[in-house]
Amino acid sequence: MPKPATPHRVAKPGNVMATRRNEPGLIQRLAAGAVICAEGYVFELERRGYLQAGAFVPVVLSEHPEVVEQLHMDFVRAGSDVTQALTYYVHREKLRVIGREKDLVPMNLTALKIAKRVARRTDTLFAGDLCNTNIYDPTDRRALKEVERIFEEQVGWAADAGVDYIVAETFAWGGEALMALEAIKKYSKVPAVVTFSVHREESVREGWTPAETCRRLEVAGAEVVGVNCHRGPATMMPVLKRIRRAVKCAVAALPVPYRTTRRQPSLMSLTDPRCGNARAFPTGLDPFLCTRAEMGEFGREAFDLGIRYLGICCGAGPHHIRALAEALGRHPESSKYSVDMSKHAYFGTDKKIRSVQTEYRAKL
């Protein structure tokens, strides 16, 4: 087995505890109510012009780290309880694909440093992040070794940075999710939130149902299990109902904010009739975007089901997170700018609004 080029130091329990604060951790917060976690950083940064759709590697960490910090702040002001380090797709396999393996360590450490700074400044939870490696193949022993190495080093860097917990997300294989969980348990002392993705088929690639996959993850020690990405609220909700019934632990739900349908249940399957029924993913998804109200409705419905770890994945903007937070009865900082039409030029009801405009309302 090749030796890691940059061995990390595995955090000892004392080391991890030394960086913890007195605020309630993930588990206590989940016991008290919902935990909101904004995800979808890569999509949002692509929209803003700081990384390339396709490979979706957040090179913005090297080129414009201040933009990542600002986006964390935007999400926190909108109601995220968590600042999740942008280490999604900052693993050695993804960097190999774009020929930037040498940036592996600095990019991971930068992502963790920025997220930690924001988390400590804002009293949000500081989360590490692991994700799909895209090389996992249950029949390929060499690939499995490489996956193991990817998870080990990323968990090590996160633990060393003093994360409050680690998210492992967007897996299509249940086995890969279990490997990520095993690494979190082996190389850190923090809770694990493990979510996988449901694509067109309801099962993960082994053929396990989402409920069964969640049960396996719970038995293997995950503190929170569930699904993230790929499915919109409409097509994730039926899956969530079955998952909630199948496990005892906390459940996570982080859909994409897109109007997926029974026939096209995932964001990659959506086709746009205005564009010759071409696949809309990844840069033509705008016409399918959910409104803020729809995301708020999703949050309320999921919470009523008993789902406590809630967020939104690829496609989410801070406005969606704010809507989700407000639907759960929160009033985050940016709610002071939530819509108030009373002073609108045409639709306003305030007495300072001139009738010359409001009388024209019906013709708008």
Q: Which residues bind Zn ion (CB under 5 A)?
A: 229, 313-314
Least distance in angstroms from the C-beta of 360 to Zn ion: 43
> Which of 122, 132 has the CB closer to Zn ion?
132
Find out whether 35 and 44 touch, Cβ atoms under 8 Å.
no
CA distances to 139, 157, 180, 223, 256 from 252, in Å: 29, 24, 16, 10, 13
Least distance in angstroms from the C-beta of 267 to Zn ion: 8
CA distances to 82, 136, 202, 317, 343 from 132, in Å: 21, 8, 18, 22, 47
Look up residue 3 and give its amino acid.
K
> Which of 44, 218 has the CB closer to Zn ion?
44
> Which of 247, 313 has the CB closer to Zn ion?
313
Least distance in angstroms from the C-beta of 73 to Zn ion: 20
Least distance in angstroms from the C-beta of 35 to Zn ion: 18
204-42-129 Cα angle (round to 5): 60
Least distance in angstroms from the C-beta of 315 to Zn ion: 8
Least distance in angstroms from the C-beta of 110 to Zn ion: 21
Least distance in angstroms from the C-beta of 342 to Zn ion: 36
Residue whose pair of structure tokens reads 């306003």 in the numeric block: 348
> Which of 229, 290 has the CB closer to Zn ion?
229
Give me the phi and psi of 309, to 5 degrees please: -100, 105
> Which of 35, 131 has the CB closer to Zn ion?
131
CA distances to 26, 104, 105, 335, 364 from 29, in Å: 5, 33, 31, 22, 47
CA distances to 14, 139, 184, 274, 341 from 155, in Å: 16, 24, 6, 44, 47
CA distances to 36, 71, 114, 209, 333 from 45, in Å: 20, 8, 15, 32, 22
SS3 category, 346: coil
> Which of 43, 187 has the CB closer to Zn ion?
43
